[in-house]
Chains A and B, each alone.
Chain A
Amino acid sequence: MNIVILGATSAIAQETARCFASEGASFFLVARDAAKCNVVAGDLRARGAAAADTFIADLADFSTHAAIANAVPQSIDVVLIAHGSLPDQKAIDDDPVAQVAAFELNATSFISLATHFANRTKTLAVIGSVAGDRGRAANYVYGAAKAALHTYCEGLRARGVNVVLIKPGWIDTPMTSHMRKNPLFASAPAAGRLIHDAIVANRAVVYVPWFWRWISLVVRMLPARFVKF
C-alpha cells in the first residue's frame, strides 16, 4: 500500500501512519521540518514500513504543491492531508493578515492539494474538525476553514472521488497542549487507530471518536443566542 501524508509530523498523522506501518505500507512523507520528518520516517520504518521517503515543503506555500505532485510515486492508494494549525483566536481577532493566513493554511491549501491528488489516488483522506460544524467565538477562523473543507469534500465525493472526511473532536496532541484536559479528550494513538480503520473501510464522514457525531448534532441545533462560547 502506497500512502502519501501531507503534514506527516502532525501527531494524528503519525499515529495513523504507525497503524499502516505495522501492515508494511510504503510512505511518502511531506513536512516542513526536515529533522522531524526524518525522525518520523525512521519511526515508521522501524515499525514495519516497507519504505518511508521524505519531501520537505511548507504547505502554506502553494507553489510547492505541484512539485510535491510531481515527486510522489505513480501509484498511490491513500493521500492523507493532515497539516494545519489551530491559531489562538483571541490573539488574531483584529488581525486581518493572520486571519486570512489561518484560513489559507487550513482550507485553501487543502483544496489546492486535494485538486492535485483527486485523480491520482484511490482514497483521499482529509482531516476536518468538529470545529467546522458550528461557528464559535473560541475558534471561528479555524472552524470556518474546516467548514469550507467539509463542503468541498462533500462535493468532491459527489463528483466520484473516494473522499474520507475525518472530523476529530478533542485529541490530546501538541495542537491542544494549551487546553485543559477533560474526559472527552481522546488519545492520539486511539484517534490514529480510528482514522486508519475509517480509511480502510472507506467511510464518507467519520467523527473521531464516534460520540462527537452526537455532541456536534446538539451543538448545531442550539439556537444562536446560546452559542456564546
Chain B
Amino acid sequence: MSYESWGRAIPSTPSHAIPLSFAPAALPNGELLLAYGLGRSYGDVCLNNGHTLLDTAKMDHFRRFDAATGIIECEAGTSLEAILKAAVPRGWFLPVTPGTKFVTVGGCIANDVHGKNHHRAGTFGRHVRSLELLRSDGALLRCSPTENSELFSATIGGLGLTGLIVSAEIALRKIESPMIVAERIPFRTLAEFDELSRASDATHDYSVAWFDSTSGREPRGIFFRGNHAAHPAGNARIREPHRLPVRLFSPFLMPLTVRLFNEGYFRANAHPQPQTLAYDPFFYPLDAVSNWNAIYGSKGFLQYQFVMPGSVAEVLDRVAKSQLASFLTVIKRFGSLPSPGMMSFPREGTTVCFDFAEGSARLRPLLEELDRIVLDGGGAVYPAKDSRMSPETFRRSFPQFESFARFVDPRFSSTFWRRVT
C-alpha cells in the first residue's frame, strides 16, 4: 500500500502503516502516529515520514442515520461519497462539501474544509455536532461545543494532531431534489467578479469562479453559481469514475497547453445557458477521473491556496508575470460565518487556489514572494494544500498556533507539523 499525498511531489515512507477496519479501543503502541484517510490532502499534512500512519479508510461504519432529522453519526473513515449515496435518496445532502467526494469525514474535520457555500454555511466544522477523540493516554473523549469544548475547538482544523478522530455526528441539510440549477457567467475584471460574488451571496447557496491565471490583475473567468432544485424531478445517476491508464509525461502541461486550455475553456463558456444538472458534475467535476493528479506527470504538482481580506490583484499579477501557468485556478469570496475551529483556515475575504506543475526552479521563489504579499495583506496560506510554507509563514497565518499546541496529543505528529514548528 502506498501512502502519498495528492500532489505526489513529496517522497514519504511511514515506518509502519496500521490498517484500522473497526474503531480501535486503544491506540497501537509505537512511535508518533497520524491518521491517514483517502490521501486527498495535497501536501504533507497527511504524511508522517519515518513514523506510523493509522490507515482509517476502512474504519467507515455508519452508526446512526436519522432520516427525519438528517443527523448522521459515522466512523471517521467514512467517505463523503458513502454519505451522499445513503443521504441523497432520503432527501439530505452534505452541509458543506469540498471539490471531491473521495475524502473522509475525519479529514474534513481535521482540515475544517470549506466548499462553494462558505458564504452561507461556513466551514464543515460548523456542522459537526460532536466527535469522539481517542487520545494516546487511552481516553476516548466525546467532544462537542458543550463537552470538552476546548478539545473540540482544537480538533476542528487541528490537522489530525489532537488524537485519533474515531467518529463524528454531522447535521446534514435538507434537499428537495438531487439536481442543481446552475448558471455560468463570464467576467472580465476582478471588480466584475466581486460584483457577481456579492450579488450572488443573497441569491445562491453555491458559488465559485474559475479564471485564466495568465490574464493578470484583471482576470477573465467564468463565475459558477447554483442552488438545489426546488422540485423533486430529475435523475442524478452517478457515473463511476474513469482512470487515466498512465501518468502523462511532465511537459504535457507546459505554458502553451495551459494557455490553449484556458482560451478554449473561456470561449466554450462565454455564452452560457442556465442548466439543471445532477449534483455530481456540479460539485465534483474532477472526480470523473479518479486519478486526475496523474496529468502532472511523474514530478507531481503543487497547490497554493491563500485567503486575503483585501484585494488579491497583486498576487494575480505576479503569477501571470511569472509565466508559471496554473492549469486550474479558482477564486471564491469567503463569508463571515465563524468556524468553531481554533486553527480554521477560512476567514472573511477572497481565497484563490492555483496549481503548478513541479519542475521549475522559479516556482519556490515565486511562492515565497506570494507568501509575503498575502501575509502583509493580513491573509493566510492553507496547510491542507501546502508542502513548502516556512515556519514563519505558518505562524503569521495562524498566530493562535501556540495556544493550539497545548492540545496536540504528545504521540501525534505529521511531516507538516515537524516542518513548521
User: Could you say which of B19, B21, B64, B89 has the most chain A C-beta atoms within 10 Å of its C-beta?
Assistant: B21
Bound-state CA distance A188–B64 (Å) is 22
Nearest CB on A from B17, distance (A): 9
Contact A39 B86 (CB under 8 A): no
Contact B65 A46 (CB under 8 A): yes
A46 neighbours in B (Cβ, 8 Å): 62-65, 72-74, 86
Q: Which applies to chain A's interface (DSSP): helix, strand, loop or mixed?
A: helix
Taking A46-B72, A177-B19 as contacts, is the C-beta distance between A188 and B58 under 8 angstroms?
Answer: yes
Known contacts A46-B86, A188-B58; A39/B64 CB under 8 A: no
Please measure, in the bound complex, the distance between the C-alpha atom of A205 and the C-alpha atom of B2, giving whole angstroms: 33
B85 near A22: Cβ-Cβ < 8 Å: yes
B63 and A174 form a contact (CB under 8 A):
no
Contacts A22-B85, A46-B72, A174-B21 given: A39-B58 contact, CB under 8 Å?
no
CB distance from B238 to the nearest CB of A (A): 13
Q: Which of these, B1, B61, B85, contacts A39 with CB under 8 Å?
A: B61
Cβ < 8 Å to A, chain B residues 44-85: 58, 61-65, 72-74, 85
**Within the complex, what minimum Cβ distance (angstroms) separates A40 from chain B?**
7
Alpha-carbon distance A11/B57, docked complex (angstroms): 12
Q: Which residues of B contact A43 (CB under 8 A)?
A: 61-63
Identify B63's interface contact among A35, A36, A42, CB under 8 A.
Answer: A42
Report whether B58 and A11 are in contact in the complex, using a CB–CB cutoff of 8 Å: yes
Cβ of B19 and Cβ of A22 under 8 Å apart? no
A158 to B345, CA, bound (A): 64
Residues of A within 8 A of B65 (CB): 46-47
Interface size on A, residues (CB 8 A): 16
Chain B 1-14 interface mask (CB, 8 Å, partner A; 1/0):
11000000000000
A216 to B64 CA separation, bound complex (whole angstroms): 41
B253 interface residue, CB < 8 Å from A? Answer: no
**In the bound complex, CA of A47 to CA of B61 (Å):** 10
Residue A48 interfacial (CB < 8 Å):
yes
Task: Give the A-B contact count at a CB cut-off of 8 A.
Answer: 40
In this assembly, does A90 line the interface, its C-beta being within 8 Å of a C-beta of chain B?
A: no
B22: Cβ under 8 A from any A Cβ:
yes
Q: Which residues 11-53 of B have a CB within 8 angstroms of A?
A: 19, 21-23
Q: Which of A14-40 contact B (CB under 8 A)?
A: 22, 35-36, 39-40
B-side contacts of A174, CB under 8 Å: 19, 21, 58
**In the complex, which residues of chain B have a beta carbon less than 8 angstroms from the beta carbon of A47?**
62, 65, 86
Cβ–Cβ < 8 Å partners of B63 in chain A: 39, 42-43, 46
Max count, chain B CB within 10 A of own CB: residue among A11, A22, A40, A46: A46
CB distance A36 to B62 under 8 Å?
no
Knowing A22-B85, A22-B86, A47-B86 are in contact, say whether A42-B64 is a contact too (CB < 8 A): yes
B22 x A36 contact (CB < 8 A):
yes
Cα separation A154 to B95 with both chains bound (whole Å): 50
Report the Cα distance A18→B21, complex, angstroms: 15
A37 smallest CB distance to B (angstroms): 10
Look across to chain A and name the residue whose beta carbon is closest to the beta carbon of B60. Answer: A43
Residues in B256-305 with C-beta less than 8 Å from chain A: none
User: With A and B bound together, what is the CA distance between A174 and B59 in angstroms?
Assistant: 11
Question: Which A residues between 145 and 203 are near B, CB-CB below 8 angstroms?
Answer: 174, 177, 181, 188
Closest to B245 in A: A183
Task: Please state if B19 and A40 are interface contacts (CB–CB under 8 Å).
Answer: no
Q: Enumerate chain B residues within 8 angstroms of A9, measured Cβ to Cβ.
A: 22
Q: Which residues of A contact B72 (CB under 8 A)?
A: 46
Q: A48 touching B58 by the CB < 8 A rule?
A: no
Alpha-carbon gap, A188 to B82, bound state (A)? 13
For A43, give the chain B residue with the smallest CB separation. B61
Q: Which residues of A contact B23 (CB under 8 A)?
A: 39
7 A–B contacts from the bound complex (CB under 8 Å): A39-B23, A46-B62, A46-B73, A46-B74, A47-B86, A174-B19, A174-B21
- Which residues of chain B have a CB within 8 Å of any CB of chain A? 1-2, 19, 21-23, 58, 61-65, 72-74, 85-86, 89
Closest 6 CB pairs of A and B: A46-B62, A43-B61, A46-B65, A43-B62, A174-B21, A177-B19
Additional A-B contacts beyond A40-B61, A42-B64, A43-B62 (11; CB < 8 A): A22-B85, A22-B89, A42-B62, A43-B61, A43-B63, A46-B64, A46-B72, A47-B62, A47-B65, A174-B58, A181-B2
